[in-house]
Structure 1
Amino acid sequence: MNGLRTLFAACGLFLFLRGEGDCATTHYTNSLDRDVIQEYIDNIADDGDTIILPSGVSTWDSGVVVPGLKGLIISGAGIDETVITAPQAFLINGQEGRFFRLSGLTFRGEGEPKIKVAGTAKAWRIDNIKFEMGNNSAITVDGYTYGVIDNCRFVGTRPDACISVFENSGETGGADSWNRPLTLGTGDAVYVEECEFRFDTFSGGVGSIDSRSGGRYVFRYNHVKNQIIGHHDACATSQRGTFSWEVYGNTFEYTEPLAAAIMMRGGTGVIYNNRFSGQFSTGGGSGTPLAMTSYRSWSVECQTPWSPPCDFVREHMCDNGENNCVSDEDCRPGVFCVQIDGHLDESGYPCRDQLGRTFDADGDGIQDPAPAYEWNNTKVAGDLEYDWFIYGEGLVGMHIQEGRDYYTDERMHDYTPYPFPHPLRITDSLAPPSNLRIRRLR
């Protein structure tokens, strides 16, 4: 049937995903054709099944779509064995309660992203995939969805944007994430672990991981060569800032000078136990790879509703972030006109979604304090320990202050990291099934 053959069904292997008594079927295809794979996803595979793609090379004009009603495992023959060239290869609309996994592939070609994860799934894994970067991006996560990206390789001559983490950027701009509590050290984040980002030369402004729109991410135990990491504050059109981040246990190396390796612009989190080699110019030659700022605190031009600077003038916006306002009448029905910044002092502090602020638990309209922490970030060779540097002009120094909004060389006392490796990776160690059934498609 359309070049597909199903060899066996393995009952009991993924009962925790499908419910007791169900069977998960493993299907092998004999083709890498895009339409064949889409037909399989739509009409042959059931929720919880596995699709095995063969070795080979294929070019697609468009990507395949994995619907939210099906939690599937799609696996190629391995890196450099199953190779797909496409502008976008997989669009996965995950659904909460269903696990999906994508593994064992190589992606090539211009366009972005090669994989897009949307929806509400809280259990997915993208692993053992190679991305040959060149005028493209690799993975975009954009939804109320969490999972793990592990053991992937991102390679090229010059870096491109590899992983982007948003929450419903096209719907709420990430506002829903800012209306939920801080959850550092839990599974409520997009995890990137044990991946390699290796580029021949450095090109500023693009990151191994980037975030805005309420993104929550953890970047741990990765190796980064000639690429930065960082994220946005509230500055882009109708988009909220990044909500939370945890960056630890990584190695960064650079073959030419750059400003900084880690550049933070919003939300809160921890950075610790990272090692760096290279020459850094942030801080007027201070040489630290750790930098932070707030764009609305100085001369950077932001977009609606963030175009008014964070200063002594009390500005307002519709609470859906759509536009600025004077009264509720300037907003859609059911949407209210709210003050943008906190104005606890004459500087306008705290700025909306700025570094060191989080969910407004008491509902007073001012985001609650949640200082960021860094400790034990060191040079690979020698005993030099790096500190944070605040860059920018204007009111940055009033809006981001040590001992209030961040702490350097100090551990977050109530923080415990999430288990490593990520629990979603244990699927590789499940015992083989004892109740194997052979089935063939006719």
Structure 2
Amino acid sequence: MLNPTFTAPDLTTFTNLDGLGLTAIGQHLSAAKAEILCHVTNPIPWCQTCGAAGIPRDTVTRRLAHEPLGWRPTVLVIKHRRYRCANCQRVWREELSQAVAPRQKISRTGLRWALVGLVCHHLSVSRIAEGLGVTWNTANEAVLAEGQRLLIDDPTRFDGVKVLGVDEHVWRHTRTGDKYVTVIVDLTAVRDGTGTARLIDMVPGRSKAVFKTWLADQEEQWKQGIEVVAMDGFTGFKTAAVEELPHAVEVLDPFHVVKLGSEALDQTRQRIQREQHGRRGRKDDPLYKCRRTLTTGLSLATEKQKTKLEDLFKEPEYEPVQLVWSVYQKMVDAYRQPKPEVGRWALEQLINEVGTKVPKGLPELKKLGGTLRRRKTDILAYFDHIGSSNGPTEALNGRLEHLRGIALGFKNLAHYIARSLLETGGFRRRLHPQS
């Protein structure tokens, strides 16, 4: 701005008091905090019961935590006048509902600042409490209550959900107590290419009954709108979806399908290692040295890695590992096909082959074939619904891990669920459209 036009300083506007119905009339600054003296801009000096004029009785002072200025805690010192009705003798105070919610110690602007800090800037409650100059409990209770009222309790929060993702999540790492929750995610924007995944609910426990009960509690019209349910290999989620959403398509995402092949490969390698050497692998054992290379996609392997595999498979005792490795590579290659119909055909042929023609002495491959055969429809459904993968759900779980790290862990599950919904519930743009 080359030629700025300056106006007279306005403390009311600078401190965002005009939206609270307050006017700043003084200030006191110290190294620890800033205090803004203010009064109600438009008081109501007449009785709301009989309409008679009120007689000023006295003035009380109310202190509210406000959004910090330059990270210096700011306090609103409100000169709050009381009146007595000359007719009915009723006593009332000037109205402050525009500035603060009932029984709150933080102004509405301060709450908004705290909620944006929590949702958009990933601040901890401790940092928010420090900025507001209040205790942790005061900040936590106020911010969660405001987030619940403004965002989580929004009746339109579930609107437009067409693709569901469901997965389990570990919310705490302790030896005692239930540490699992079931997360339900909206993947519609991911499939349509219009946005990211968002958490819509989190339920204590992980079982078929948990997911089935949650689905049963939803409105029938909403359930009829669900087209796809993306999930991992847990059969409980599968049966719950079939029973409650019989019209929806269940999709087993590529990550978990490939993981099944990777686990079968690792188990075969470990079994052959024990059979050949009578112990677990050591750093100089050929199988142990190739453990990472074996699970690398062949199209991404370097020449050195390919040479290492060729040398390994020259040994006849490692033939079982080579057979399972070849199945694993075909699984990876099917998902990497540029055309979905080609990938679907390749994976279907592989499932039919592994599900029926498994050489003897390969229990890991037989188990893998049985799993692929049972979930064949869900696995192949991915190619008909590209974008409806549970991968974004796994990524969202990673964000929740980060949230738990910021807070140094949670003890209260209700607080964790509320914080998780605020952190990953898609509220960022609603609170901070510029982000």
Bigger radius of gyration: 2
Q: Select the structure with the greater relative contact order (CA < 8 A; seq sep ≥ 6).
A: 2
Q: Which has the higher strand share?
A: 1
Which range, TM-score by smaller chain? under 0.3
TM-score normalised by length of structure 1: 0.26
Q: Which has the higher helix share?
A: 2
TM-score normalised by length of structure 2: 0.27
